[in-house]
């Protein structure tokens, strides 16, 4: 079995090292392709019309000059002639990914990109880290091993798992509904001049929680799981389309 690990915090991030160590509970064939730098809220940006560079940092570990999604594409097409992994693991992201992060997060974009290639993917995120790294790594390894062995329970075309880890493992595993906890909801003006405003997006989120959503279940100390899909649409009712047609053709 071959596992690919990518992240959006950069190739030297501690969470990536923890994920790689945990992944070795499943296989020794673990590869890392991760960005050279941190890409917070990079979403699913793909770098067209730009030369990208892969640098081998150590055996089976590559740094990519591109985005998190670029890392997946590089692994599938360039590294070792195309890695063809059986599983992609994203993270472990250094902050929780909830709500609108489904669109903003580079970590979740890694899992989404893997699903474009038909490869199962698990995105891991976390707010707080325990001090006993060895015990924590072993617990994450057991979680990954369970999820992989039970993949028939969750794997479906065009889907992936988004998992928010609590500080303490093992823990109950719970399925959540998406939270609504808006990041990038405020700005701070740095300076104003005639015809020009300099401002910065304010980091953080309100921390809102609703019954049964990701933040609510995370507060209980659970492993919080959401199965995502990129095929989600919200079709308009047929009568609306008929009215629109009538407005255009009458």
CA–CA dist 223, 18 (Å, integer): 17
pLDDT attached to residue 183 = 86
199 token code pair? 């401002």
Share of the chain above pLDDT 70, in %: 100
pLDDT attached to residue 250 = 82
Residue 23 has pLDDT above 90, yes or no: yes
Residue 177 sits at the vertex; the CA angle it makes with 112 and 152, to the nearest 5 degrees, is 55
Residue 184 has pLDDT above 90, yes or no: no
pLDDT tens track for 196-235: 999 999 988 888 899 999 999 999 999 999 999 999 889 9
pLDDT attached to residue 206 = 86
Residue 165 has pLDDT above 90, yes or no: yes
Which residues, including other chains, have CB under 8 Å from residue 125's CB and lie 6 or more apart?
91, 92, 93, 95, 96, 97, 105, 107, 162, 163, 164, 165
pLDDT attached to residue 205 = 85
pLDDT attached to residue 40 = 87
What average pLDDT does range 150-160 have in this prediction?
A: 97
Question: Across the chain, what does the average pLDDT equal?
Answer: 96
**Topology given in CATH for the domain delimited by 2-178+209-249:** Stationary-phase Survival Protein Sure Homolog; Chain: A, (3.40.1210)
Q: Is 113 helix (H, G, I), strand (E, B) or coil?
A: helix
């Amino acid at each position: 079995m071959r596992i690919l690990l990518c992240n959006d915090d950069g190739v030297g991030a501690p969470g990536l090292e923890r994920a790689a160590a945990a992944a070795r509970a499943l296989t020794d064939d673990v590869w890392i392709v991760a960005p050279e730098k941190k890409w917070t809220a990079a979403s699913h940006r793909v770098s067209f019309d730009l030369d990208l560079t892969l640098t081998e940092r150590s055996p089976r570990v590559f740094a990519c000059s591109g985005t998190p999604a670029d890392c997946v594409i590089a692994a599938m097409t360039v590294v070792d002639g195309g890695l063809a992994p059986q599983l992609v693991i994203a993270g472990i992201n250094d902050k929780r990914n909830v709500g609108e992060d489904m669109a903003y997060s580079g970590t979740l974009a890694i899992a989404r990109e893997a699903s474009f290639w038909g490869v199962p993917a698990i995105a891991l995120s976390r707010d707080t880290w325990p001090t006993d790294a060895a015990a924590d790594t072993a617990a994450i390894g057991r979680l990954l091993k369970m999820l992989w062995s039970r993949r028939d329970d969750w794997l479906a075309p065009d889907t992936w798992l988004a998992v928010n880890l609590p500080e303490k493992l093992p823990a109950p595993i719970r399925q959540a509904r998406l939270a609504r906890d808006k990041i990038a909801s405020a700005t701070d003006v740095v300076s104003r001049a005639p015809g020009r405003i300099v401002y910065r997006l304010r980091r953080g989120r309100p921390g809102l929680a609703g019954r049964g959503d990701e933040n609510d279940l995370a507060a209980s100390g659970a492993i919080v799981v959401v199965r995502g899909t990129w095929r989600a649409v919200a079709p308009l009712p047929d009568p609306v389309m008929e009215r629109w047609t009538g407005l255009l053709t009458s």
